[in-house]
Amino acid sequence: MGFTAGEAIRFGWETFKRRPWFFVGATLIIMLVSGLIDAFTRGIDAAVSGSADQSSLLGSLISLLAGTLINMGATAFYLSAHDNPDAADLSAWWHPRPFLKFLGAFILLMLTIAVGFILLIVPGIIFALMFMFTTFIVIDREFGPIDSMKESRRLTYGHKWKLLGLSLLLVLINLLGLAALFVGLFVTVPISSLALTHAYRVLGGKVEPRPVDAALSA
């Protein structure tokens, strides 16, 4: 079963158009929450280390834990929005389970990619593409870190060039959103997130790689 980058992005755009203000609002809220957490941890850093620019152990720990919850919520939200865009709501952002599995998978994933980049960059890119659906699998199926990485490797096998093309297009889309006085990100972030979620669903066999209009009207 395959997919194309263009089809995934088109799916993201068509899904976004169904509830544009909902997706813009959801993106705004999560950016505000992230900003408040960042301000809070900087305050802790300033109190502990004497400077907001100098990280402290406590501030870093809080940032890691809060960031994990945000990433878990974002993954669950876009899975819900992809599968049933008309019924998705903001409550999907609160998805703290399975926290330890997700945290373990995220740390292991970052370490694997870092080692790959140390090995002359190219292996890092390959690892990033190979394991790019690891956190989706943790949230979607509640697999452990190792099993999630193995399943991501299975799903991406034979599709890395297409996934690389999709990743580059999503980076470009978000750079354009950033260039549009930053506010463009409120549009490009949900579109790119939905596109990536669609790639995961197609490669995972949960949806057929059919025309977007048919997929949305089913």
Which residues constitute the domain of residue 180?
A: 5-33+97-217
Contact present, 212 and 10 (Cβ < 8 Å): yes
- How many separate domains does the chain show? 1
Is 146 a domain residue?
yes
Is 196 a domain residue?
yes
The answer to pTM > 0.85 is yes
pLDDT tens string, the chain, 218 residues long: the values are: 457 999 999 999 999 999 999 999 999 999 999 999 999 998 888 888 777 778 888 888 999 999 999 999 999 999 999 999 999 999 999 999 999 999 999 999 999 999 988 887 888 899 999 999 999 999 999 999 999 999 999 999 999 999 999 999 999 999 998 887 778 899 999 999 999 999 999 998 776 444 444 444 33
**Which residue spans within the chain are E strands per DSSP?**
none
Alpha carbon dihedral 13, 14, 18, 24, in 10-degree steps, equals 0
* Cα 165-193-126 angle, rounded to 5 deg: 40
Contact present, 113 and 127 (Cβ < 8 Å): yes
Contact present, 75 and 99 (Cβ < 8 Å): no
